[in-house]
């Protein structure tokens, strides 16, 4: 997850072994030394991708390549149009499955799977590459936590927002 501050950007990631895990295996937050780039309509990935890559590097050497990465956002937008997750997968050489979880529908992402969790009526929107879309949606549905947003996704969001609380937004 990525959080923008007035003078820097904080990117965070958590690792876990199984979809149903209640706690992260490890956590990292990385603070950039520069302010965020301006938003470019249609090119959101340019704003977040460098920070996601930096947070993955901060995890250090892994004993094996990451099997799956879950991002806050879309993998594919419309048809085969790339979103943030597809660009991330490309940068990682296509070796890792990427699952995107978004809280709002993207008007042209008609292929996204709606996932209902908990007692809420608001869906999460799941897109993926490198893994069957129905399997990705089922995995997100099976994640720990009683609410709409799984526990570990809430944790990484909180980690990115709270990593440097003294920084102005």
Predicted model pTM: 0.92
Question: For the ranges 13-17, 62-66, 124-128, which has the lowest average pLDDT?
Answer: 62-66
- β-pairing verdict for 124-129 and 97-102: antiparallel
Report the half-sphere exposure of 158 (CA within 13 A, side-chain side): 9
Range among 50-64, 66-80, 104-118, 143-157 with highest mean pLDDT value? 143-157
Mean pLDDT across 7-26: 94
86-134 pLDDT, tens per residue? 999 999 999 999 999 999 988 777 789 999 998 878 999 999 999 999 9
Closest CA to 159 of 28, 16, 61: 28
Distance CA 5, CA 109 (A): 29
Mean pLDDT across 35-49: 85
Place of tokens 């050489």: 93
């Amino acid at each position: 997850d990525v959080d923008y501050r007035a003078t820097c950007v904080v990117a965070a990631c958590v690792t876990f072994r199984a979809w149903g895990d209640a706690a992260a295996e490890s956590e990292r937050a990385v603070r950039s030394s520069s302010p965020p780039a301006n938003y470019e309509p249609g090119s959101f990935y340019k704003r977040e991708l460098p920070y996601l890559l930096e947070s993955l590097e901060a995890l250090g050497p892994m004993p094996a390549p990451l099997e799956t990465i879950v991002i806050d956002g879309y993998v594919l937008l419309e048809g085969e149009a790339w979103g943030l997750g597809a660009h991330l997968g490309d940068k990682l050489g296509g070796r890792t499955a990427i699952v995107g979880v978004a809280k709002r529908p993207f008007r042209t992402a008609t292929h996204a799977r709606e996932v209902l969790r908990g007692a809420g009526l608001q869906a999460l929107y799941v897109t993926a590459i490198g893994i069957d879309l129905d399997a990705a949606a089922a995995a997100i549905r099976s994640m720990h936590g009683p609410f709409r947003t799984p526990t570990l996704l809430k944790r990484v969001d909180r980690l990115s927002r709270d990593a440097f609380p003294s920084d102005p937004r």
